[in-house]
A and B are shown apart, each in its own frame.
Chain A
Amino acid sequence: MTSIALLLSPVWLSWKNSFFRGRSSWTRRLLLGFFALLFWLGTYIVIRRVLRYFETVYDLGPALAYQLLLIILLTFLSMLLFSNLVASLSTFFLAADLDLVHGTPVSHGSFFYARLINTTINSSWMVLFFSLPIFAAYGSVFGGGVTLYFLVAVILPLFLVIPAAIGILITHLLVYCLPARRIRDILFFIGLIAFVVMYFLFRFSQPERLVQPESFGSFINFLGAMETPSSPFLPSSWSAEILAGTLFSRDTAQGFFFALLSSYALFLPVAASWVSGAVYLEGWSKAQESRQGRRKHDWPDRILNVLTRPFSPILRALMVKDVKTFLRDTTQWSQLFLLVALIVVYLYNFKVLPLDRSPMPAGVIRTIVSFANLALAGFVLSAVAIRFAFPAVSLEGKAFWILQSSPMSLGALLWSKFWLNFVPLLLLGELLVFLSNLLLQVPAWMMILSLVTMGLMTFGIAAIGVGLGALYPNFNFENAAEIPTSFGGAVCMIFSVAFIALAVMIEAWPIYALTMRTLYRGTVTTPELSLIVPSLLIVLALTIVAVALSLRLGLKNLESMKEL
């Protein structure tokens, strides 16, 4: 136990030293704390409103809230599983301090449990941060009092440990079993598994059942189905069952589900430690051997040369270097698998949305969903930007001195990072909006408006990502995947989400007005469409402010940096 605490001490001490002896000022910290609190409160208020609305649905309120809880926990579970896979590969096989630790007489058991705790904390703290206002909102709407908070405090650690242990177990087996002379092969499989797992987890939740009461034969059957988890073998369902007992005063076997959850939370780490004890040295040794050269193809260079031709030689050199290092850094490009999974699941949900069963006219509901989709696609895009645009400056790493000592302005550096991220983000955003609007069969004006708004939002999202990445750079990272999970990453997410929320809110009223006209008159005339112009102009102004402010803040910080 003491050795586990000792092995974790550098993490804790580093955090403490960064906090008390770090360079950032207290004013800045307080400001950021304030924004975090604001975001936390926002989440709380939104979830509370949704739950209050559910409550007004006669007899169905608790069942709907329960289904929402299931979906939220299932989403957390899938996110945790993926982030644990990536984090455990880093903490167990790639971390820079492994040579140091393995050179000392530490038992494998202590090493394993210390890294398990480290992996769990690294990959779960963000989920923990976002989940607390959600549970608080449930507590305030449905009651549960102290018992609820006690249950949350007991359940959450158990719920977080399970995907961590599974992630570590899978990573160990992959590193051991594959002819893993190249880590990227392993990451390929991790990405693939994450994709398959996420896909099935999402499909297990069957969200479309919420709006298909007729498929259950009778209302009682429907209510019964709404009150049971769709996938009873998942820890998220067990946790939801335990909480439901207290939240909705339902007669659930809380004790049984708690026993189930805790026994898995205790057994899986032990099982993973056995497996680790048997295969770790072999796997770790293989991971060392994977650092080899690569075969040379010149066709990617030729494509890159063509694509970057419009830019100045300096920007071009930077972009070519960035694309090459991205493609050669497995911890970076392997995240693209997650992106593909995200897009497929995202679009699939639109495909199965039973809009024709809605009591409202199809045209109106399609426009409303399409509008909500704009915000959702924005959130997806900002999640992607956190992964790719935010680390852009930090990825220069210890080689940043080359840029600092070269005859180029740091502004040019930021702009090159901006354009490099903007183009793929724009393609992704427009593709998401275009395809989902196509599936929704929205009117032409809504399609054009969505595409234009998404284009504007992408400018803002890319700039916030790159700018705040420069404001909070981490040049001493151990692996690239840890950069977005830093404090700066959270701040970036908050700003990005706030920007999207503002942009969407500005367009809400004119879209509402136009939708109402469609509802009453069946169509909108061209002059009526001019209603949208002022709000589009305001969104444009907001985007300009977001781009200018983010990049300027980032640039100012880079210029004021005296040492790395």
Chain B
Amino acid sequence: MIQLINLTKHYGNLAAVDDLNIEVPAGQIFGFLGPNGAGKTTTIRTMMGILKPTSGQVLLGQHDMLREPEKAKAICGFIPDRPFIYEKLSGHEFLEFVGKLHRVETTRLKDRIAEMLQLLELTSWKDELVESYSHGMKQRLVVCAALVHQPRILIIDEPMVGMDPKGARTLKDLFRALAANGTTIFLSTHSIAVAEEICHRIGIIQKGRLIACGTMAEIHRQASPADGSLESVFLELTRDQERDNDHP
């Protein structure tokens, strides 16, 4: 469903994403982990067609993001790390706008908005201007917007930032339910606990390169952590890579 083929993105001489090859089949939650500045957000922005890759390909549901951007975006929902919402629009108006951009038919859109607002507990706030929402409410509204057109692929950059435990739980349950229904989820996160809890497969990126990829068990085999936690695996792998880079 998602294929990144030799994806490379350079900023001048810096390779922010370096020859990335990832494949995520339908219905799978793929966790994308890495330290700060590793290239996670650049990868995601390139996947969504916001950045043009220096080379390589992004295929979303067989659609090449460069050649058929409209078709590729039509089946995607995107939750950016720093989402923008029009502050002077009400929550309902914002969802209506995004739904129409995705060409959702009017009656279906109405039902869908009501359903999403209910699910993320925003119904009573739907007619309030976004400027009066709390941070967590804005996050939930962005999730509604990403799902309003029932995308087959969901691309998420740091979803739990600023969420309270209840909101985080709702989101995790939602992602699991979506994946069970066939939605493919590409989830970039700092939170190892989140990755461990909901992801079927994990990729670890450092300095633009994929240094490990596979199921939890496969990742464990690649490192020899002191304890069995993913956190130790992550620290072990990223430390090894640092050492290799410092002493080639």
| A→B interface (CB under 8 Å) | 3, 6-7, 9-10, 13-15, 17-18, 21, 96-107, 181, 281-282, 284-285, 288-289, 292, 476
Please determine whether B101 and A106 come into contact, CB atoms closer than 8 angstroms.
yes
User: Inside 8 A of B228's CB, which chain A residues have their CB?
Assistant: none
Q: Is the CB of A105 within 8 A of B78?
A: no
Query: When the two chains form the complex, which single residue of B72, B78, B90 contacts A17, counting CB atoms closer than 8 Å?
Result: B90
CB proximity of B92 to chain A, nearest CB, Å: 11
CB pair A104–B87 under 8 Å, yes or no, is no
In the complex, are the beta carbons of A102 and B100 less than 8 A apart?
no
Whether the pair B84, A103 counts as a contact (CB closer than 8 A) is: no
* Least CB distance, A111 to chain B, in whole angstroms: 10
Asked whether, in the complex, the Cβ of B70 is within 8 Å of the Cβ of A107, the reply is: yes
Can you identify 15 A-B contacts, CB atoms within 8 angstroms? Answer: A10-B89, A14-B86, A14-B89, A15-B88, A99-B50, A99-B80, A100-B83, A101-B101, A102-B48, A106-B101, A107-B70, A285-B51, A288-B50, A289-B11, A476-B87
Interface of A is mostly: helix
Given A10-B97, A281-B52, check contact A105 B73 (CB 8 Å): yes
B120 at the interface (CB under 8 A from A): no
Which residues does chain B contribute within 8 Å of A289, judged by CB atoms?
A: 11-12, 51
Q: Are A6 and B100 neighbours in the complex by a CB distance under 8 Å?
A: yes
Q: Is the CB of B93 within 8 A of A13?
A: yes
Give me the interface of B with A, judged by CB distance under 8 Å.
11-12, 45, 48-52, 69-74, 76, 78, 80, 83-90, 93, 97-98, 100-103, 129, 131
State the Cβ distance, A129 to closest chain B Cβ, in Å: 22
Interchain CB contact under 8 A, B98 and A104: yes
In the complex formed, the residue of B with least CB distance to A9 is B97
Contacts of A101 in B (CB 8 A): 101
Q: Which residue of A lies closest to B69 (CB)?
A: A105
In Å, the complex CA distance between A173 and B56 comes to 25
CB distance from A102 to the nearest CB of B (A): 5
Chain B residues whose C-beta falls within 8 Å of the C-beta of A281 in the assembled complex: 49, 52
Beta-carbon contact of B97 and A181 below 8 Å: no
Q: Which residues of B contact A99 (CB under 8 A)?
A: 45, 50, 80, 84
Docked pose: A240 CA to B165 CA in angstroms:
66
Task: Give Cα A476–Cα B130 distance, bound, in whole angstroms.
Answer: 12
| Distance A281 CA – B100 CA, assembled complex (angstroms) | 23
- Cβ–Cβ < 8 Å partners of B97 in chain A: 6, 9-10, 13
Contacts of B45 in A (CB 8 A): 99, 288
Q: Is the CB of B93 within 8 A of A100?
A: no
* Minimal beta-carbon separation of A223 from chain B (angstroms): 55
Residues of B within 8 A of A476 (CB): 87, 131
User: Are A104 and B50 in contact, with the CB atoms below 8 A?
Assistant: no
Contact call A102/B49, Cβ cutoff below 8 A: yes
Among A7, A106, A292, the one with the most B-chain Cβ atoms within 10 Å of its Cβ is A106
Q: Is the CB of A10 within 8 A of B86?
A: yes
Contact present for A6 and B101 (CB under 8 Å): yes
In the assembled complex, the CB of A91 is this many whole angstroms from the nearest CB of chain B, namely: 14
Which partner residue on chain A sits nearest B77 by CB separation?
A: A103
Q: Nearest chain A CB to B237's CB is how many angstroms away?
A: 28
A101 vs B70: C-alpha distance when bound (angstroms): 12
Complex alpha-carbon distance, A284 and B46, angstroms: 12
